[in-house]
Structure 1
Amino acid sequence: MAKGTKGENAKKYLIEIAAKLFLQNGYSNTGINDILTEAGVSKGSFYFHFSSKKDLAVEVSKHYYKIIVQNWLKPLSNNNWDIFINKLVSDLKNFTSLGKFFGCPIVILGLEIAFIEADLSKMYAYSTNELIGIFKNSLKISKVPEDELDSIARKAFALYEGHIVYYRITKDESAFDFMLKDLLEIELHNNI
């Protein structure tokens, strides 16, 4: 596969910088100048690729969707529940030890923009529902009865995100051990 053009690479770089800053500092607390400073590019370069911060935020949403949903969790969810959950938590612990985990960007940013950017909120709502679908897929592979899939997947997702929010607030990495325990107990409780 050919590498992108200089312009495509510059656009991708700006998206990656914005994604990092939006997650670390919040969408509202990150200005275009913050992104430009971090990226080391001019305002003209920014406006060549994006008409506004909101336009960039749309691309950030797509960026996180691709990385988290398409490239990481969807393929991982093609395993039975215990393998899926053990690998998911192991990956989160690894990302944390590398200093690359600040919480689930889809939910963290979705929470912040839910009432301030209706268009962006819809994108994050879509991605959130896709995450629930990922949990549902692994549960289905694990032979959870069809009539219970949606309910159990939503409970699992709530536990997953709850522990991540707790970690983000406290920086207490034991949250991942509790996440693993709680998510595996869903399996035990429902005799999967």
Structure 2
Amino acid sequence: MKDSETRTRILQTAKRLFYEQGYNNTGINQVIDEAGIARASLYHHFSSKRDLLTAYLEEMSEQFVKELNVHLSPLKEPRKRLLGFFDYWIEKQYNTSFGGCHVVKISAEAIKADQVLFQQAATHKENLKQFIATQVNLLPARESQSLTKELLTETLFLLLEGAIVNATIQRNNEPLKQARKIAARLI
């Protein structure tokens, strides 16, 4: 097996395990066993479980952006792209059995005291907010708009984040569907 294939296999296994059962409930031995690799191979690519977590967060953030871009690429109008963001999450929650956001899940259990990991998570969320801000700034001005563009951006971001968490807790997409309806009224 090529070196890059081994790294990919380790990372794919860790992604699945960290997302499905959590970082703290996943041991290095389980990653090694399920990836079908030697211990030395894991430590050749990742110096520690924390290093593997850092790579996981990077990979998941990149994957998220790619998936979102594919989902939104047919949508050209900012309003449709903003609502498409909610649609993306409705589909993603369904496809992951309401697993929720990887960053929120990892943050809840592993990032508390680690400034580097905290910054990775914060950057991911800030990038999401920036995506929303870009689309909001492209919306045509409306006289009846009671929210500034900055406040609308923050409102949509928090609405989406809260809906994702609630959909995960409730194990259904109703919170996201309701949030999408609210967003449609706001924009």
TM-score category of the 2 structures, normalised to the smaller one: 0.7 to 0.9
The CA deviation string for residues 40-98 of structure 1, in whole angstroms up to 9 with x for no partner, is: 222122111110011111111110121113x2346738843431133233333333444
Check whether the contact 2:82–2:132 (CA below 8 A) recurs between aligned residues: no
Moved over 6 A (4+): none
Aligned equivalent of 1:36? 32
Aligned partners of 2:148 and 2:26: how far apart in 1? 41
Q: Say if 1:30 and 1:150 are closer, same or farther in 2 by CA, change over 3 A.
A: farther
1:61 aligns with 2:57: yes
Find out whether 1:153 has 2:148 as its counterpart. Answer: no
For 1:22-33, list aligned pairs within 5 A.
22-33=18-29
Structure-1 separation of matches of 2:93 and 2:165:
14
What is the rounded CA distance, in whole Å, between the counterparts of 1:96 and 1:133 in structure 2? Answer: 22
1:88 maps to amino acid? F
Give the aligned residue type for 1:142. L
Q: Are the equivalent residues in 2 in contact too, given 1:73–1:134 (CA < 8 A)? A: no
2:165 matched to which residue of 1?
165
Helix, strand or coil at the partner of 1:93: helix
Indicate whether 1:72 and 2:71 are aligned.
Answer: no
Asked if 1 retains the 8 angstrom alpha-carbon contact of 2:89 and 2:164, the reply is: no
Q: What is the match of residue 190 of structure 1?
A: none
Q: Which runs of 5+ in 1 are unaligned?
A: 188-192
Superposed displacement of residue 101, structure 1: 5.4
Q: Is the 8 A contact 1:86 1:180 kept in 2?
A: yes
- Residue correspondence of structure 1 range 1-192 to structure 2 within 5 A: 6-69=2-65, 71-73=66-68, 76=72, 79-99=76-96, 102-143=99-140, 148-187=148-187
Output the CA distance in 2 between the equivalents of 1:114 and 1:139: 31
Q: 1:8: Cα distance to partner? A: 0.8
**Could you say what the CA RMSD is over the residues aligned between the two structures, in angstroms?**
2.5
Q: Is the 8 A contact 1:74 1:134 kept in 2?
A: no
Q: Report the Cα distance in structure 2 between the residues aligned to 1:114 and 1:123, rounded to whole angstroms.
A: 10
Aligned length: 181
Q: Percent identity?
A: 24
**Distance in 2 between the 1:167 and 1:53 partners?**
29
2:133–2:153 Cα contact (<8 Å) kept:
yes
Amino acid at match of 2:92: F
Provide the TM-score with structure 1 as the length reference. 0.81
